[in-house]
């Protein structure tokens, strides 16, 4: 059974589904099988990254599926070691060669790496690559409001999307408010906080029982109602389907409030605060 996923419109006009597939660790032929099954199940937005070393896997799944290329939204990300302008341009081209695609729908800077301090150069490369037709929409990941302000002030171009760590234990309320005010779509990475203890949480279990849904479904519905695009990763066709079967119920105000109470100031899974954490 295929599920129809509602879309959101980015500020440059590109429409993307409100749930996509995370692909960290989905590689090789098993990865192709998992991603192809997700597309067959109704997924149209596929996340990937140069550093996941699976752009080739994603490209192969795009070629294998019968869904037309233009119906898909394929994402990749620029790694921190290639933030200088010329390296960024070459890396975008290399990402396309690896995937054997003519264009990415979304290409995003993976981490700001503020100590390295080259993300403005990287952003300029993405702006130009969009003009050259290599990318349809440009975004960032893990950027704090202070980093986004610099992009705006120094290039005049704000990202369409910011992919950030977001799950019930770290709900990023202030960051989401900044995005909303500036027309940037929030995309949630590790939306299920990789399983961990959310799957044992009594509050979420009680809400799941109330709607006759599973804990992952309640969490993914919560992301949707927050207005965030989520990208749960699953290698299993049945769990992929479960994760997008969330459009036949709605959490009420009380449930949304109970879920909001679960957030913690130190709720990041691995203490990756983009103000100081850098990834290359």
Ligand X SMILES: NC(=O)c1ccc[n+]([C@@H]2O[C@H](COP(=O)([O-])OP(=O)(O)OC[C@H]3O[C@@H](n4cnc5c(N)ncnc54)[C@H](OP(=O)(O)O)[C@@H]3O)[C@@H](O)[C@H]2O)c1
Active-site residue list: 52
3-state SS, one letter per residue, for 101-116: CCCEEEEEECCCCCCC
- The least distance separating ligand X from the CB of residue 149, rounded to whole angstroms, comes to 20
- Token readout for 206 is 């009680």
Supply 171's token pair: 């709900």
Beta carbons within 8 Å of 251's beta carbon, 6+ residues apart: 207, 211, 218, 221, 222, 225, 259
Of the two residues 64 and 194, which places its CB atom closer to ligand X in the complex? 194
Contact residues toward ligand X (CB under 6 A) are 22-24, 47, 110, 141-142, 163, 189-195, 216, 231-236, 239, 242-243
Give the 3-state secondary structure of residue 262: coil
Considering the complex, what minimum distance in angstroms separates the CB of residue 29 from ligand X? 16
End-to-end CA distance of the chain: 40
Query: Rounded to an integer, what distance in angstroms lies between the CA atom of residue 118 and that of residue 127?
Result: 15
Q: Min. distance of Cβ 89 from ligand X in angstroms? A: 21
Q: Which of 66, 197, 88 is nearest to 138 (CA)?
A: 88
Encoding tokens for residue 250?
Answer: 């709605």
Backbone torsion region of residue 128, taken as left when φ is above 0, otherwise alpha when ψ lies between -120 and 50, otherwise beta: alpha
> Concatenated DSSP letters for 18-70?
SB-B--TT--HHHHHHHHHHHHHTT--EE---GGGT-HHHHHHHHHHSSS-GG
Q: Tell which residue, 2, 112, 96, has the closest CA to residue 48.
A: 96
Q: Which is nearer to ligand X, 47 or 87 (CB)?
A: 47
Residue nearer to ligand X on the CB measure, 119 or 189: 189
Considering the complex, what minimum distance in angstroms separates the CB of residue 253 from ligand X?
A: 25
Q: Cβ-closest residue to ligand X?
A: 22
Write down the least CB distance from residue 172 to ligand X, Å: 13
- Comparing CB distances to ligand X, the nearer of 8 and 24 is 24
Closest to ligand X by CB, 131 or 279: 279
Place of tokens 């929030």: 186
Query: Please, what is the minimum distance in Å from the beta carbon of residue 77 to ligand X?
Result: 6
Residue placing its CB nearer to ligand X in the complex, 57 or 243 = 243
**Closest C-alpha to 90, from 121, 59, 114, 64:** 121
CA distance 77 to 75: 7
């Amino acid at each position: 059974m295929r599920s129809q996923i509602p879309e959101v419109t980015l500020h440059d006009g590109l429409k993307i589904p409100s749930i996509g597939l995370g692909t960290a660790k989905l590689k090789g032929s098993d990865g192709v099988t998992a991603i192809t099954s997700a597309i067959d199940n109704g997924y149209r937005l596929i996340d990937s990254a140069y550093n996941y070393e699976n752009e080739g896997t994603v490209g192969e799944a795009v070629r294998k599926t019968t869904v037309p290329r233009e119906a898909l939204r394929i994402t990749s990300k620029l790694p921190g070691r290639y933030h200088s302008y010329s390296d960024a341009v070459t890396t975008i081209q290399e990402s396309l060669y690896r995937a054997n695609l003519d264009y990415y729908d979304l290409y995003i800077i993976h981490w700001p790496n503020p100590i390295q301090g080259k993300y403005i150069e990287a952003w300029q490369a993405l702006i130009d690559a969009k003009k050259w037709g290599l990318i349809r929409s440009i975004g960032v990941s893990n950027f704090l409001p202070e980093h986004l302000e610099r992009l705006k002030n120094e290039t005049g171009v704000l990202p369409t999307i910011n992919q950030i760590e977001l799950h019930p234990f770290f709900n990023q309320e202030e960051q989401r408010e900044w995005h909303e005010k500036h027309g940037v779509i929030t995309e949630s990475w590790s939306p299920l906080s990789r399983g961990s203890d959310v799957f044992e949480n009594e509050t979420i279990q009680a809400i799941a029982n109330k709607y006759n849904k599973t804990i992952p479904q309640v969490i993914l519905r919560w992301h949707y109602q927050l207005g965030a695009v989520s990208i749960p990763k699953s290698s299993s066709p049945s769990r992929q389907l479960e994760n997008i079967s969330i459009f036949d119920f709605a959490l009420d105000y009380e449930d949304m409030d109970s879920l909001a109470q679960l957030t913690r100031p130190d709720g990041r899974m691995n203490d990756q605060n983009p103000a100081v954490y850098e990834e290359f």
